[in-house]
Amino acid sequence: MVKKEMPYNKADFEKMASTVHTMSMLTQDGFPKGSDSMAAPTHAKDAVWSDPEKFNKDVVAFQKASAALVVAAKTGDMSQIGPQFKETAGTCKKCHDSFRSKSEG
């Protein structure tokens, strides 16, 4: 919708923004201390556990950006939504670049 590859639908976009924010609030809980030794395959890099301060900082940035996206989505104003979507996506990319490998570890 932001890229105008599909028609903008305010209700759908609000739901998507809310879902992204909900996921952001669950991210830290998905990687508790000691879970790096679990047997399940993961795309998480060791840095999630070896540098938890940076990981948590990036997660908090994602949480704040996605909360602001929810607020922007409620306006229905693409001049607010577009930049906030870009900021939120940037927090995702930054964290994935630092903490997610392309293959299971």
Q: In sequence order, what are the residues at sequence separation of 6 or more whose Cβ sits closer than 8 angstroms to the Cβ of residue 102?
A: 43
Q: What is the pTM of this model?
A: 0.88
Residue 2 lies in a domain: no
Residue 23 lies in a domain: no
Opening angle at CA 88, ends 12 and 98, nearest 5: 130
Residue 105 lies in a domain: no
Residue 21 lies in a domain: no
Q: What's the pLDDT tens digit per position in 62-84?
A: 999 999 999 999 999 999 999 99
Q: Count structural domains, the chain.
A: 1
Residue 5 lies in a domain: no
Residue range of the domain that includes 95: 52-100
Q: What is the mean pLDDT of residues 83-96?
A: 97
Q: What is the mean pLDDT of residues 84-92?
A: 97
pLDDT for 105 beyond 60: no
CATH number of the domain where residue 83 is located: 1.20.120.10
Q: To the nearest whole number, what is the mean pLDDT of the chain?
A: 92
pLDDT for 38 beyond 80: no
Residue 24 lies in a domain: no
pLDDT for 37 beyond 70: yes
Residue 91 lies in a domain: yes
Q: What's the pLDDT tens digit per position in 3-18?
A: 778 888 999 999 999 9
**Chain-centroid distance, C-alpha 76:** 21
Residue 6 lies in a domain: no
- Report which residue type is found at 66: S
